Structure 1
């Protein structure tokens, strides 16, 4: 299974904000959409960063409630790791584990095509493992 198959199943919606949005606006969008991360885009729509719930909590711990009026640009992750629709579940899982990240924007021909979370990837890996086990049982039973 690859990233394209995950996106085909879960959808390709990506919620984004501009870097000058406040952390309060970002938190409201995360809550409204029930998501864990937002892609931050520049004026041309290119990825400028990723902002996660953890980023907001860390900024709140540093600055207190006044952090909520700060721009997203101040605490987003700028060095964004991305995935391709052709990447396998195993490749994406390894990348996320090695870099300790939970969300990967997916780029297709340089454009934002979706986002996958560690939960999406683990779910598909479990499904794949269960299907392999069932196939092995069926093979053994037919021998």
Structure 2
């Protein structure tokens, strides 16, 4: 199973945000859409960072309420791990586990093409395991 299959099911929509926007507005978007991360892009769709709830918590713990006026570029994670449509579910699980993060942007031809979360990956893996178990039961029943 690949990232491409996950994106075909869930879609390619991604909430993005500019690096010069205020953190307070980014927090509002995260809360409004009930998401855990925003991909930070420049004007031409290239990924320049990712802003997660963890980034926000660390910044507020350090700077208090003044953090809300910071530009996102000051708070975001600039070195973004990415994947592409050809990565397998197991490969992205390994990337997420090693990096200890829950969101992985998908890039195609150098541009943002989607995002997958650990929830997407776990859901797909559970579906695969359940399908395999059903196939084994069917095989045993016909043997």
With normalisation by structure 2, the TM-score equals 0.96
Q: Which residue of 1 aligns with 2:133?
A: 133
Q: Which moved more, 1:41-50 or 1:55-64?
A: 41-50
Structure 2 alignment gaps of length 5 or more: none
Structure 1 alignment gaps of length 5 or more: none
Q: Which residue of 2 aligns with 1:4?
A: 4
Output the CA distance in 2 between the equivalents of 1:95 and 1:54: 18
Within 5 Å, give how 1:47-126 maps onto structure 2: 47-126=47-126
**Ranges of 4+ aligned residues in structure 1 off by more than 6 Å:** none
* C-alpha displacement of 1:110: 1.5
With normalisation by structure 1, the TM-score equals 0.96
Output the CA distance in 2 between the equivalents of 1:136 and 1:94: 27
3-state SS of paired residue (1:8) = helix
Aligned length: 143
3-state SS of paired residue (1:67) = helix
1:16 maps to 2:16: yes
